[in-house]
Amino acid sequence: MRRKLVIFGAGDIAELAAFYFTHDSDLEVVAFTVDREYATAGSAFGRPLIAFDEIERAFPADGHDMFVAISYAQLNALRRDRVAAARAKGYRLASYVSSRATTFPGFVHGENCFILEDNTIQPFATVGENVTLWSGNHVGHHSRIGDHCFVASHVVISGGVVIGEQCFVGVNATIRDHVRVGDRCVLGAGVLLTEDAEPGGVYAAQASERSRVPSHRLRRI
C-alpha cells in the first residue's frame, strides 16, 4: 500500500509537486494544506484543502507524510518555517528525486527536497534539507548545497563548491570549482561566479539591451 502524502501549498508548485509524486513516486497525494487565511476554497486540484491548524485531525501524522511546496519567497525563509511547523506537528517530510535525474550510489540529501528531471549530481556531492533543484542542473563532485536553497534550471555548480543556507541561484548561473558561497546569497540569471561570495551578497549579470537597428533592417537574417 502506498504511503499517503499531504502537500503544503495550493499554487503552481504544489500542483506540480502533486503531479510528480503521483506519477513518479511510491506516495499517494491525498490532500493539500495552507495557512488558514488561504484555506477558503475547500479543495485544490481535486483533493481536500485543509487549514494547516486543523490538518492533523483530518490527516494525522502517524499515517501521512508532508511535503512543503513553496517557492523561494523571502529567500526560502517561508518554506523553511513551514517545514519546521510541519515537523513540530510530527510529520515526516517527504522528498522527491526524479527517476530521470542522474545520481550515484551513496548520494545523500535531506528531507523536503525537490530534485527534478535531468539534474546530474556527481559522486560525493551532498544536498541539504529543504532544497529545490529545478530541472537540468549540474552539481559537481564533492560539492555541498546547504539547507533551504533554491537552484533554478541549467545551473553549473562545479566540483568542490560549497553553497551556504538560504541561497537562490538563478537560471544559467555558473559557479567555478572550489568557490564558497555564503548564506543568503542571491546569484541572478547568467551570473559567472569565480571567487568566494560573502554572506548576503547579491550578484547580477549584465542584461541584454535592445539594438538601435530594427529587425527589418537586418540583411543577413
pLDDT tens digits for range 31-46: 999 999 999 999 999 9
Given a cut of 90, is residue 2 above it in pLDDT? no
The pLDDT score that the predictor gives to residue 219 is 81
The pLDDT score that the predictor gives to residue 78 is 97
Give buried/exposed letters for 49-85 (b at 16+ CB in 10 A, else e). bbebeebbeebebeebbbbbbbebeebbeebbebbeb
Burial class (CB within 10 angstroms; exposed 0-12, middle 13-18, buried 19+) of 194: exposed
pTM: 0.95
Asked if 96 and 21 count as a contact pair (C-beta separation under 8 A), the reply is yes
Given a cut of 90, is residue 169 above it in pLDDT? yes
pLDDT tens digits for range 124-165: 999 999 999 999 999 999 999 999 999 999 999 999 999 999
pLDDT band at 1; cut points 50, 70, 90: confident
Spell out the domains of the chain, with CATH numbers in brackets.
3-94 (3.40.50.20), 95-200 (2.160.10.10)
The pLDDT score that the predictor gives to residue 144 is 98
Residues 169-179, mean pLDDT to the nearest whole number: 98
Cα 49 to Cα 55: distance, rounded to the nearest angstrom: 9
pLDDT tens digits for range 184-219: 999 999 999 999 999 999 999 998 999 999 998 888
pLDDT tens digits for range 56-96: 999 999 999 999 999 999 999 999 999 999 999 999 999 99
